[in-house]
Structure 1
Amino acid sequence: TTAVVSALYFRGNQTMSLGYMESHIFGRVLKKSGFTKRLHKLKETLMFILLRIGRIFKYMCCEMEYIIDSFPVKACHNIRISRCKLFRDEKYRGYNASKREHFYGVKIQLVTTSDGIPVEMYLAQGAEHDSQILKRMYHDLPPESSLYGDSGYTNYEIEDSFREVEQVDLAISRKSNSKRKDT
């Protein structure tokens, strides 16, 4: 409950959430370190619950249009890469084209409804290209739906595979010099 309150009302600040829960709901709560340890033990359970909620929402709303995009999560600044203890390999060094900067960390691929509600998520190494991640991702989109993406997902083999196998229209925003023109 405290983790959900933290995410909803305190922008993920667990200390403020623990203070609120102690003063308004419970008389005593765990200290921050004990709370963090318990939260880390629940990591797989929480991820399973969140993915199931996304799947249920996807089937209840019967959306037929989805959007995919990626964003980086930096582990550290470039100057501190040699001292980074979280990741230790070059495969985590990526490039963020929209900001024209390199980063060290992971990429999150997020599939949302047209209203912006997330339904699927995939975590990948920072150096991987978006189209290669799209090829590996498991998609559970309804047949006859459309998945819109930016030009980073341009890969004609994947588009053909989506149409034939999954019956999903992969609509990618094309660059001006692409072989298949944007309709």
Structure 2
Amino acid sequence: MELGGKHNKALTLARDLKLFSHIPSPSRFNRRLHALFPLLLPLHYLLAQVWKNLHQAQAYALDTFPLPVCENIRAPRARRFPDKVYRGFIPREGVYFHGLKLHLLVDDGKFIHEVNLTPGSLHDLVSLLILPLDLPEGAEFYLDRGYESHLYEDLCREAQGIVPMVIRRRNSRRYVPWPQYLAMVGRRVVETVGSMLHASFPRRIHTVTQEGFVIKVLSFVLAHNLGLMVQKMLG
């Protein structure tokens, strides 16, 4: 978090502070990190279970954030993500990007409970079908317009006991004016978390492979959650 995910600077700092008896070379550290890749999501799940004992959340919010891997002009020559499926569109800004979408499920304590990455061209609603959504019964679930689906809302309400709070389009059959303000206020927490992550990201996440890019993004998410847990336990 402090060094923007740069392995060379982190290893140099660890060597100067003598944090470990043996500091591997950057290439060896990178190979070890890639070997741990299958354990990152299980570790994230375990941290979420520990957080539930520290904070009793009553509301959750889901949102999607674009993660460009290169400038638009370089998209046809992109090597890490060469396929057109990574070509996405940001409606609120009216611009295209080439990269991934980061899906975050955040509670009212700013803890990221679930995370996923999808190609940029996939619709936001796909994340609802991919994420497990392990939410407690009766929890409020705040969603943006891109997640509006009457079928899925009914399934969440009837099967899981979740209360969907969706920001709806004005032409929606279920549009009611007064709940819109509550939905907008409730989902501000996920926008705050997204801004915190983007602030910690370097200007360009430097990696050579797709797996390396995903590892760095998940590492930032884990560092964010660990920071919250430390603050909660010390506070």
Number of aligned residue pairs: give it. Answer: 176
Q: CA deviation at 1:86?
A: 1.6
User: CA-to-partner distance for each residue in 1:110-147, whole Å, 9 max, x for gaps?
Assistant: 00011321111121121111123213321110111111
Find the counterpart in structure 2 of residue 22 from structure 1.
15
Distance 1:31 1:122 in 2: 30
Partner of 1:181: 175
Counterpart residue number, 1:86 = 80
Residues 126/59 of structure 1: CA separation in 2 closer, same or farther (3 Å cut): farther
| Deviation of 1:55 (Å) | 3.2
User: More deviation in 100-109 or 85-94?
Assistant: 85-94
Give me the whole-angstrom Cα distance separating, in 1, the residues matched to 2:41 and 2:126.
23
Q: Distance in 2 between matches of 1:78 and 1:47?
A: 30
Residue 42 (1) aligns with residue 36 (2): yes
What's the TM-score once normalised by structure 2's chain length? Answer: 0.69
- Whether 1:12 and 2:5 are equivalent positions in the alignment is yes
**2:90 paired residue among 92, 96, 118:** 96
| Distance across 2 between alignment mates of 1:28 and 1:133 | 41
Matched, 1:141 2:160: no
Report the residue type matching 1:90 in the other structure. Answer: K
Distance 1:132 1:47 in 2: 19
Query: Are the equivalent residues in 2 in contact too, given 1:135–1:158 (CA < 8 A)?
Result: no
Paired residue type of 1:83: R
User: Which 10-residue stretch deviates more, 59-68 or 35-44?
Assistant: 59-68
Aligned AA for 2:10?
S
Deviation at residue 14 of structure 1 after TM alignment: 2.0
How far apart, in 2, do the equivalents of 1:150 and 1:27 lie?
A: 49
- CA shift digits 1:86-108 (9 cap, x unpaired): 22322211111222211111111
Q: Which segments of 5 or more consecutive residues in structure 2 lack a partner in the other structure?
A: 180-235
2:53 and 2:138 map into 1 onto residues whose CA distance is: 14
- Pairwise CA RMSD: 1.7
Q: Tell me the SS of whatever aligns to 2:89.
A: strand
Kindly report which structure 2 residues correspond to 1:19-168, keeping only aligned pairs within 5 A, or say none.
19-25=12-18, 26=20, 28-58=22-52, 60-168=54-162
Q: Structure 1 59/179 Cα, relative in aligned 2: closer, same or farther at 3 Å? A: farther
Match of 2:163 in 1: 169
Q: Distance in 1 between matches of 2:63 and 2:140?
A: 14
**For residues 18 and 66 of structure 1, what CA distance do their matches in structure 2 show?**
36
CA distance in structure 2 between the partners assigned to 1:38 and 1:66 by the alignment? 34
Higher helix proportion: 2
Greater fraction of residues in strand: 1
SS in 1 for 2:175: coil
Higher RCO (C-alpha under 8 Å, 6+ residues apart): 2
Note closer, same or farther for the CA distance 1:13–1:46 as it changes in structure 2 (3 Å cut): same
**Distance of 1:121 and 1:115 partners within structure 2:** 16
Measure the CA separation in 1 of the matches of 2:52 and 2:102: 19
Does the 8 A contact of 1:58 with 1:119 survive in 2? no
Q: CA deviation at 1:149?
A: 1.4
